[in-house]
Amino acid sequence: MIKPQRHATLRLAIGGILLGITAVSYADDSSGSMKQPPDILFGPLFNDVQTAKLFPDQKTFADAVPKNDPQTILADYHMQRKQSGFDLRHFVDVNFTLPAEKEKYVPPAGQSLRAHIDGLWPVLTRTTSSAGKWDSLLPLPKPYVVPGGRFREIYYWDSYFTMLGLAESGHWDKVASMVDNFAYELDSWGHIPNGNRSYYLSRSQPPFFSLMVELLATHDSQALKKYRPQMEKEYAYWMEGVDALQPGQSSQRVVKLDDGAVLNRYWDNRDTPRPESWLDDINTAKKYPSRPATEIYRDLRSAAASGWDFSSRWMDDPQQLGTIRTTSIVPVDLNALMFKMEKLLAKASQDGGDSAAASRYEGLASDRQKAMERYLWNEKEGWYADYDLKTKQVRNQLTAAALFPLYVKAASQERADKTAAAAEAQLIKAGGISTTTVNSGQQWDAPNGWAPLQWVATEGLQNYGHKKVAMDVTWRFLTNVQHTYDREQKLVEKYDVSTTGTGGGGGEYPLQDGFGWTNGVTLKMLDMVCPQANPCDKLPATQPAANDEPATTAPAATGNQPAANSAPTTTDQPAATTPSTTSDQPSVTTPPTTTDKPSSTTSPSTTTDQPSATTTDQPSSNTPPATSNQPSVTTPPATSGNASSQPAANDDSAETQKSVGQ
């Protein structure tokens, strides 16, 4: 069981960090006044512009720069709109500077995939050490790389995967600058916002800062020690309010379950429409008058905090966005990242000579891992999944998030094998890992595949010896990226993985190109499929062989834990049913609840660089047999002359992969 005193001790250990973190929604600008989001600054004008649909993309006006102070603009608006012939668009053009059209990067003819990505880094780099007093942009002290397209600011979790590529290209200066910017945000606001816009300050995104520091530490050995204070601030933000919780209660981003186990969820401090999707959110809420609009708005915002905006993962009915209830779901990927944060804080503390703090963080990581094994493992299905606070059951849906415990080495070998087998059977498609098995029309569902999820999958599978399946995912996704690039000379934010050579669809906005995290992951994957001594500029003609290996696991102490088959509902969530995971059906019906839970697990390993050796006592009889030694490898259809069909993964004549991160 979680030991509450660990949180209390940690609270004292990091001094005033928690005292300095409040529900800050807005930022100080250079003049010292509070920078508020545009929906508050411009009230009725903002609402009228967004609901009039003056711009195809609602983010356009949210990013506009006022030419005068809000009071003057609003006074003019109230006076002029009463006049005959008032033109709202003309008023906006007179009083605001709209964001510039996205830059078009035209690569030289015949440019290779790698050269194209390297050429994009300066195109995607921004410097905004200052910003207007009234616009939504938050200045950052150092240069940073943006995703591209409509995403003209830095985004939190995107940046980690972008940094992978920057590091691969030798741009460690940019990696360090971006880590410094995120440290600045933590020092300024107590958390890293979704992006550097005032309207993003009410939420964060998947917590990758500690992994960014870990990446930088491969180049700067002092990085963990240097950024430990900011890592502790981020941890305090995610755990804020935990000490006051009783079992069965929740507060913002943290929940305490019946047995005292502590896990985290996504949360946005505001419960209004998102300024960047104002009318969309209003229309979504209008379709569900039986639910308070503020409840829907918060769940929409919290889904944006998850990075998966939007997905059937958060919805009761995958065809109806208004059934979203993100805040009543405990996400497996978020808690895996929190486990990783705790492990890295332990290492940073140990490196800094603070063995007491290191021990506390190791204890917190151990407690979290035990809670994950009880609440976030679906014994009946044989994979990791989210936990439903309303139904008090682990959810049945298989998503790519199931691979996050493997990515952070929090899984036992047995459970990693089962999860890998499930992913191979249901998620691996012609063009990579599918986000989910449900086709809902939302962008974080089938048939879309996203670069960060491909990376998490390949790294997680490799961590537990499933190297052939990992190589298969890598090859399929790279084939998708290469074929799309050959046809369109660009990389995009997401891909249709049901085939190869096609960008993804769905969601609130058109497909964007650029694209930061795709660029980063592609460069890392190119090194996986090319021999170390002979790096390649594009997808090679032949897939390298990859042989499965037993994962190296650290010894773990054994200890019995009581089964935890249910958790109390939080008091601020609506009752709802759990969606189905049937991969072939677009609609989702309510499945039978899952009550099978393992009766005991062992305590986790305390090493930061080895998979944990947790054991389970009740393997599911319904789980398909692990097939790590015989991955299914089909040849993605070739759509260009630059990549030949792939051979079987056990082709010994092919080059051996370069193992990343080892």
Asked whether residue 388 is marked as a ligand-binding residue, the answer is no
Residue of 180, 232, 309, 381 with catalytic role: 309
Lookup: tokens for 470: 């990992």
Distance between alpha carbon 160 and the CA centroid of its chain, in Å? 10
Q: Which residues of 18-51 are buried (b: 16+ CB within 10 A; e: fewer)?
A: beebeebbbbebeeeeebbbbbbbbeebbebbbe
Q: Where are the alpha helices (DSSP H) in 287-331?
A: 293-306
Scan for tokens 């849906």, then name that residue: 397
Cα three-residue angle 428-431-436, rounded to 5 degrees: 45
The DSSP secondary structure of 567-607, one letter per residue, reads -PPPTTS---PPPP--TT-SS--PPPPP----S-BPPPP--
Whether cis (ω within 30° of 0) applies to the bond prior to 447 is yes
* Beta carbons within 10 angstroms of residue 1's beta carbon: 12
Asked whether residue 307 is marked as a ligand-binding residue, the answer is yes
- Residue 485: which region, alpha, beta or left (left: phi > 0; alpha: psi -120 to 50)? alpha
The DSSP secondary structure of 418-457, one letter per residue, reads HHHHHHHHHTEETTEE-SBS---SSTTSTTEEEHHHHHHH
The answer to whether 50 touches 281, Cβ cutoff 8 Å, is no
Asked whether residue 203 is marked as a ligand-binding residue, the answer is yes
Cα separations in angstroms, 261 against 12, 247, 594? 21, 8, 20
Asked whether residue 519 is marked as a ligand-binding residue, the answer is no
Cα–Cα distance measured from residue 569 to residue 250, given in angstroms and rounded to the nearest whole number: 9
Asked whether residue 194 is marked as a ligand-binding residue, the answer is yes
Helix (H, G, I), strand (E, B) or coil at 631: coil
Distance between alpha carbon 126 and the CA centroid of its chain, in Å? 22
User: Is residue 493 among the annotated active site residues?
Assistant: yes
The answer to whether 569 touches 256, Cβ cutoff 8 Å, is no
Cα separations in angstroms, 424 against 381, 437, 555? 14, 12, 28
Asked whether residue 350 is marked as a ligand-binding residue, the answer is no
The answer to whether 493 touches 487, Cβ cutoff 8 Å, is no
Rounded to 5 degrees, φ, ψ at 206 are: -45, 130
Helix axes 332-351, 355-375, angle to 10 degrees: 160
Residue of 39, 379, 493, 655 with catalytic role: 493
* Beta carbons within 10 angstroms of residue 372's beta carbon: 27
Asked whether residue 629 is marked as a ligand-binding residue, the answer is no
Asked whether residue 157 is marked as a ligand-binding residue, the answer is yes
Asked whether residue 274 is marked as a ligand-binding residue, the answer is yes
Asked whether residue 362 is marked as a ligand-binding residue, the answer is no
Helix axes 516-529, 451-463, angle to 10 degrees: 40
Total residue count of the chain as it appears in this document: 662
User: How many helices (DSSP H) and strands (DSSP E) are in the chain?
Assistant: 21, 18
Most distant pair of Cα atoms in the chain: their distance: 79
Helix axes 228-239, 172-189, angle to 10 degrees: 50
Asked whether residue 240 is marked as a ligand-binding residue, the answer is no
Asked whether residue 68 is marked as a ligand-binding residue, the answer is no
| β 329-330/387-388 pair status | antiparallel
The answer to whether 465 touches 509, Cβ cutoff 8 Å, is no
Enumerate the known binding-site residues. Answer: 150, 157-158, 194, 203-205, 274-276, 307, 508
Enumerate the known binding-site residues for substrate. Answer: 150, 157-158, 194, 203-205, 274-276, 307, 508
Catalytic residues: 309, 493
